[in-house]
Structures are given as C-alpha cells and as structure tokens.
Structure 1
Amino acid sequence: MPTIQVVAKKAGVSVATVSRVLNNPSVVKEATRLKVERTIEELKYEPSVLGRNLRTAKSRILLALIPSISNPFYTEIINGIENAAIEQGYNILLCETGSDPKREKIYFNLLRSRLADGIISMDPTVDRAKLLELADKYPVVQCSEYDEGGNISYVSINNELAAYHAVRYLIKIGHTKIALLNSHNKFLYARERRQGFEKALNESNLAVNPDWIYNTDDLGFEHGQLAMRQLLTLPEKPTAVFAVSDILAIGALKEININGLHVPNDMAIIGFDKISFSNMTHPTLTTISQPGYKMGFTSAKMLINKIKGIPVDSIILDHELVIRDST
C-alpha cells in the first residue's frame, strides 16, 4: 500500500500539504488540492484512520443511547443521527441500554476513555445525576427526552402543547369522555403530556376522570391492550382515547377490535409519534407526528459542534397532528 510520503513525492508537495488536503482541504489552494487528490486517486492511497485518530486524540465515533432497539420510534431519529454524522466524517455506535445501569456505565466509560467523542442520549430511563456529571466534562446532547432544569443541550418538541392539540381535536369533533393511556410519571414526557391532556379538558370545563387515566411502566403493545381491556370493563366508558405513544394506541386498537367495537364510531383513538406502523393499522391511526429524522440530524450536528468547542442552544421543533381514520 502506498504511504503518505509516496503520495507527497509523486504530487511534488510536502507531506504536510497532503495531510492538509485530507483533513482540512479548504486551507489548500485549489490547484494544489486537485493535484494531490488526483495523485491519491491514481495511487489508490487510503489514509490510516487509526493513525489519524491517535494523532488527533479523536475517535470520530458518536454514541447513540436508546433504551430498546425494538421501539420503532427511534428508527427515524437514528437515521438522522447517522446521516449528519457521516456528513461530518463521524460514525455512530448504537448503544441499547435496556435500562440497565451496568450497561449504561460501560457506554459512559467509552466516552471517559476517549474511545468515543460524544453521546446522544435518547433514553428516558438514564441516570440523570450520572449523565449531568458526565456532561460537565464531555460533549453530551439529549434527544427527545431531556433533563428539566439541567444544563445539557437538547432537541425535543413541546410535549404539553402537542398533547393539548390532540385532546382539543377530540373535543372539537364532539367527544367529552376522553381517556388517557400514559407512561410512568417519573418520565418528563409523560408528565408534560398529561399536563396538556388536562389543560384541554379544563379549558372546555370537562372533568378529569381518574378512572379513565391508565399509567404503565412499559410502552409495549400488550400494555395498550391491557389498558383498553380495563377501560372497557368500566360502567361508564370513555368514547375517545389519547395514548402517549403509537404502540400503546395500536395495542388499544386491537383490544377494541377483539371486542367487536368500531373505531371511531364506538371509540376514537389518537396516538403519539407517527411510527411507520401507524399508517398500517385498520383503521389508520390519527397521531401526533414528531419530526424524528430532523430531531436526530439536529442533535448530531449539535453534538459535533460541542466536540469542536462551538456553543449550542437547546432546540424545540414543531409537531403536527396527523388526522387519519381512527378519529
């Protein structure tokens, strides 16, 4: 394999000039840059990534922390992170924490030992204190779920406003008996979405019925089904449901169908996230769309700026109510 010295000799330039063409081409005159690039292509020279990383003390790797790889909500976010990373010469390592502190510690140590340059955390179960401590010394960004009142930059949406818009729509089309399928209150997004739910009801002078609020520790499909099963046993049943995730909503939809009821005539449903499956259900699911790809792309660019020492601000992106057949 040709070396950088061979490239420099054939191109008639110094080794330092070849290095600049590879790492910072904008500082090299165009004619020189083109000559070096042609020589690199002709010789099929491939620079040593390991050698470059050792010289710069950079791994060019970003860690993306998620609680579960099986949750389709993260798919578009990860696509956005990866595309932004590759565009800037980085790669990503997808880290499934499984809400396990031991696994989380392993990934944090990769950053401490400089085997990674930064972390994007999408895990709502992450140890907040340890993440804040890590962010004091290393580049860290949060995506979707974030630390309320913390000092970690984040990319998210206004969860309270999104939930408010969803429930206001249900009220607008005539529903006064609305249930909430929610996650655990220890999660910020769950608290914010409940606040939006209650705000919409209060503005329309509708009571918040505690019997119609179901909290679950897990966003699994089966938990949405169990929640709807419980709601259908109540003497007074709701006529509409707002679920804080599409997965919960799809589980609830299945249970409604099993019981021979019709959506939306007997029960309307709105989900949250606009995962790909939400357009494959019968009927198709009305949902709050989070801009997953943009969230991922923005969070990766934000993290890379942090790595470069460029100050960044947290960003709240827009959401959208996507109206389909379930309402």
Structure 2
Amino acid sequence: MNGPVKISDVAKLAGVSASSVSRALNPDRYASEELRARVAEAVAKLGYEPNAFAQSLRVQSSRTIGCMVSDVANPLYAEIIVAAEARLQEAGYLMVVANSQSGSRELDLLNMFRRRRMDGLLVTLDDDTREDVLAVLKDSGVPLVLLDRDVNLSCDRVSVDHRQGAYAVVSYLLSLGHRSILLETPSHRVRPGRERIAGAEAAVHDAGLPPSVLKVSDHVDLSQPHVFSDVLQELARPSRPTAIVTLGTAMLAGTLSAIEANHLRIPEDISVVSIGDTILAQFAAPGITALRWNLKQFGRTAAELLIERIEGRAGTYRTITFPTELVLRRSCVPPAAKPSKGARPAVQTAAAK
C-alpha cells in the first residue's frame, strides 16, 4: 500500500465503518469484544498507527504529562523521573521532561506545557516564593503534583521528611562529640532547605548546646565550583568545622574536592554526611554516611497521584511524606583531639578536652 495507512483502510479490511474503528480503538468508549478483535486484527495486518494529535482533539486528552525539574543532571531527580515515567507508561501516558535550569526557564516551560495540552504536571520549583510562577500554575487548569515543594496551591504533593532527617544527622554527629558542624544546603527559598535548617537547629537546641555549634551555608547556586569555593573558605578558618553535612549531588563533589585540596583525611580529620544516598556517596573512598529515602517509590507515588487525579478517581488533595533513614558507613568518627600531620588545626571540643 502506497502512503500512510488511514483509518478508512482499516475500516475496509475489517468490514466496518470508520466510526466503528474509531470507537473500537478508544478504550473509553463502548465497543463489543467482537468488534475490537476485528479492528485489532486489521490494524495489525496493515500496521496502522493512530494520529495521536487528532485523537487528542477528539477526546480532549493528549495522554502526555509535563515534568519540570530544576536540574535533570541531579541524581536525586533522575531516579525519581525514571520511576515516575515507568508508572505513567504503564498507564498509557508519555512523560515530557524539561529542565528549568535552576528556575530561569520555569515560566517559559509552564506556558509551553499549556500550549501543548498536557493532561497533567509533575513539578518541582526552584523558588517557592515566585508569585509569577505560582500564578501560572494556578491558571494551568490541569491536575498538578508538586514534588517536595510547599506553596499555596490546591494540588497533591509528595514530600520527604527532611526536618526529621536533618535532626537525626546532626544528633548523630553531636553524639560523636562534634561541636563545629557545617551544613551545606540548598536555599531556604525551597522546602527541603527550610526543613533541613529547622531540623538541624532543633537538634542542637534539644542537645542543650549553643547555636554556634552549627554553621548553615545555604545556596542558590548548587554547582560543584561554587560549593568548592564556599567549603574551601570554611576550612581555612582557624575554627574550621570538624564535620560537614551536604547534599549528595554536585554539592558533595565540591565538598570532597575542597577537603582534598586542604590535605584533610576522611574521617580522621573531618567527618562527612551526605543528604541523599547517591552513587558518589556509596562509592567514595571511604563510603560516605548518608541520609536516604526511597526515590523510586517517591517517583511512582507522584505518578500514581497524578493518574488518579486525571482519571477522576481522587478525592481530597493528598500530601504523602516519605521517611528518611540514616545509613552509617565509614566517613564519621569522633573529632580528633589533635590535628593530624599536614591537616589544618581543628576545633577542640568538650569531648576532646
């Protein structure tokens, strides 16, 4: 047959009308099993592929989902995206992933999703306080699931208990005797940053220690060079930190590079904890103690919430929060009483006196 196969060709081979073929190919419309079988056989013989765009105009559904994250190279996002895509594919949806480049393209991407008639959105924002972005999301008119963000929108959300996680990490370091802890974290303008800072500060407070035990360095720029420069400055101080808590992404890479540049050893001279159990944390030498949560289940849950909302099976908006777990490896020990040869002087802690 010359040219693309048309619905009329399928109808002719199956011995039915074109409208019957259309009905048989639409899972949401009634058609007898005998009709569906005849049409399916004709479709298979002719290699017919329905026009997805034309179908979307008829049924008001594109079967596509827009997913926007700030950095697709972030390994924590990557695992979530893969899991969400797999669940959406099972349900017959195609997921389009877009990189907002740390927030600079958020408005453009959201408007593009609207023009392309996405059935729903999975979104993480680079700044929870941007009113212009929130206004576009409110006016989108499609189901939305927020990924670990806390903003004034009526939608479903999937989050992580970062506050309790940070509390557990800092409490663990305090129990080892550390009294100079550096927390390298994304900005307080996003929920994970705010929650981690609150949890870390609460751990210090509940331990009856002064706030000066914890130094918080929150970043908008999460790149390896930026974090490297920041940690380098902190390690150059006379009262340098004896422990660093950092996100297990490019931030961890920058932290490890700065530690190496200062000729410090992990854990003999400085302890390190990764927020997020990434490949870098797992296979660094030594392995980095990490706070982890189930990224795959996070992604599948976000997709499931969106599917249920699109298909009208959801009731009130839900927030599902995943717990964290501290995985102990070999990167944390009590702070050294004396600096090792070649290392910068460390803070003398109460436990080391």
Short-chain TM bin: 0.7 to 0.9
2:224/2:253 contact within 8 Å kept: yes
Aligned-CA RMSD value: 2.6
Amino acid at match of 1:145: R
Go from structure 1 to structure 2 and tell me whether the alpha carbon gap of 1:55 and 1:150 turns closer, same or farther (over 3 Å shift). closer
Which residue number in structure 2 is paired with residue 61 of structure 1? 64
* Aligned with 2:227 (options 219, 224, 227): 224
Alignment of 1:1-20 (within 5 A): 1-13=4-16, 15-20=18-23
Name the SS of the counterpart of 2:211 in structure 1.
coil
Give 5+ residue unaligned stretches, structure 1. none
2:11/2:21 contact within 8 Å kept: yes
Which residue number in structure 2 is paired with residue 47 of structure 1? 50
Moved more, 306-315 or 46-55: 306-315
Residue 90 of structure 1 and its aligned partner are, at CA, apart by 1.7
2:248/2:278 contact within 8 Å kept: no
Output one character per residue of 1:52-74: Cα deviation in whole Å (capped at 9) or x when no partner: 11212222222111222333322
Residue 197 of structure 1 and its aligned partner are, at CA, apart by 0.6
Which residue number in structure 1 is paired with residue 326 of structure 2? 321
1: CA distance between counterparts of 2:33 and 2:323?
41
Alignment of 1:299-318 (within 5 A): 299-311=302-314, 312-318=317-323
Which residue number in structure 2 is paired with residue 277 of structure 1? 280
Go from structure 1 to structure 2 and tell me whether the alpha carbon gap of 1:130 and 1:119 turns closer, same or farther (over 3 Å shift). farther
1:288 equivalent in alignment to 2:270? no
Go from structure 1 to structure 2 and tell me whether the alpha carbon gap of 1:59 and 1:25 turns closer, same or farther (over 3 Å shift). closer
1: CA distance between counterparts of 2:264 and 2:192?
30
1: CA distance between counterparts of 2:166 and 2:296?
20
* Aligned with 2:271 (options 264, 268, 271): 268
Go from structure 1 to structure 2 and tell me whether the alpha carbon gap of 1:26 and 1:176 turns closer, same or farther (over 3 Å shift). farther
TM value normalised by structure 1: 0.87
Give 5+ residue unaligned stretches, structure 2. 333-353
2: CA distance between counterparts of 1:45 and 1:211?
64
Which residue number in structure 2 is paired with residue 252 of structure 1? 255
Which residue number in structure 2 is paired with residue 138 of structure 1? 142
Output one character per residue of 1:39-97: Cα deviation in whole Å (capped at 9) or x when no partner: 32122222121221121222222211122233332211211222122222222222222
Count, aligned residues:
325
TM value normalised by structure 2: 0.81
Moved more, 72-81 or 235-244: 235-244
**Runs of 4+ displaced beyond 6 Å:** none
2:180/2:214 contact within 8 Å kept: no
Name the SS of the counterpart of 1:305 in structure 2.
helix
Which residue number in structure 2 is paired with residue 159 of structure 1? 162
Name the SS of the counterpart of 1:209 in structure 2.
helix
Which residue number in structure 2 is paired with residue 170 of structure 1? 173
Name the SS of the counterpart of 1:98 in structure 2.
coil
Residue 160 of structure 1 and its aligned partner are, at CA, apart by 0.3
Residue 273 of structure 1 and its aligned partner are, at CA, apart by 1.9
Q: Larger Cα Rg: Structure 1 or Structure 2?
A: 2
Amino acid at match of 1:109: N
Amino acid at match of 1:55: R
Go from structure 1 to structure 2 and tell me whether the alpha carbon gap of 1:240 and 1:121 turns closer, same or farther (over 3 Å shift). same
2: CA distance between counterparts of 1:83 and 1:199?
38
Residue 191 of structure 1 and its aligned partner are, at CA, apart by 1.3
Go from structure 1 to structure 2 and tell me whether the alpha carbon gap of 1:285 and 1:20 turns closer, same or farther (over 3 Å shift). farther
Name the SS of the counterpart of 1:69 in structure 2.
coil
1:89 equivalent in alignment to 2:92? yes
Amino acid at match of 2:45: E
Name the SS of the counterpart of 2:199 in structure 1.
helix
2: CA distance between counterparts of 1:128 and 1:225?
28
Residue 28 of structure 1 and its aligned partner are, at CA, apart by 4.7
2: CA distance between counterparts of 1:23 and 1:316?
36
